[in-house]
Amino acid sequence: MKIKISVKILLLLLSLAMLIINCSQEKTEKQLFSEADSALARGDVKSALRAYKGIIKLYPQTPSSPKALFMIGVTYLDQFNEDEKAKETFQKILNDHPDYDLEKEFFDYAQESQNSGKPKLAIKLYQEAIESFPDSPNKYKALFLIGFVYSEQLQDYDKGREAYKKVVDLYPDCDLADDAEFMLKNLGSDSLPEVLK
């Protein structure tokens, strides 16, 4: 009888010890983001996604959760060309985290992508901003930037022209309408001011 009780106590203590060890091994949000960023930098997309998903699972109510979801969506766009999965992920952010500034995140990450030699990803993110926020006062800015990336980074003047034309036609009174007209007149030329190059 005493042996049975001792074995039960020993098993209970072992279970408690394992629980304490597992809890102490739980990574912080910062550690998981660092792990994900490092994995992406070295091209280990699966490990990056696993770390982002870990953030969402372990820290669902923190500001890190929508940022992790955003990075999962970006990864779908950038690494897998899975636009529909990306859209679903971005929609989840809009539904589950309405206070998260997703539009700003689209613009910021698109700019970062533009600057780091990923113009196609930048275009996709500007397009996501337009689709996710169709009534946004920033829509014309996204259109202009799409035109800029197409014309100046990808030298796809037809698609650049199309985007600039939308700015001029749909937003003739916006602060970028004159710039869009200038870009239309000078597509493919070397006459662009240095500030626009």
- Contact 72/96 with Cβ under 8 angstroms? no
Domain end marker among 15, 49, 80? 80
Residues 72 and 40 in one domain: yes
Residues 114 and 184 in one domain: yes
Count of domains observed in the chain: 2
pLDDT exceeds cutoff 60 at 28: yes
pLDDT per position as a tens digit, 42-86? 999 999 999 999 999 999 988 899 999 999 999 999 999 899 999
Residue 55: how many other CB atoms lie within 10 Å: 26
Residue (of 172, 174, 52) closest to 44 by Cα position: 52
In which domain, by residue range, is 106 found?
Answer: 101-190
Q: Is residue 57 part of a domain?
A: yes
Contact partners, residue 97, CB within 8 Å, separation at least 6: 65, 66, 69
In the prediction, which pLDDT does 66 show?
A: 96
Residues 182 and 125 in one domain: yes
Q: pTM of the full predicted structure?
A: 0.80
Residues 113 and 69 in one domain: no
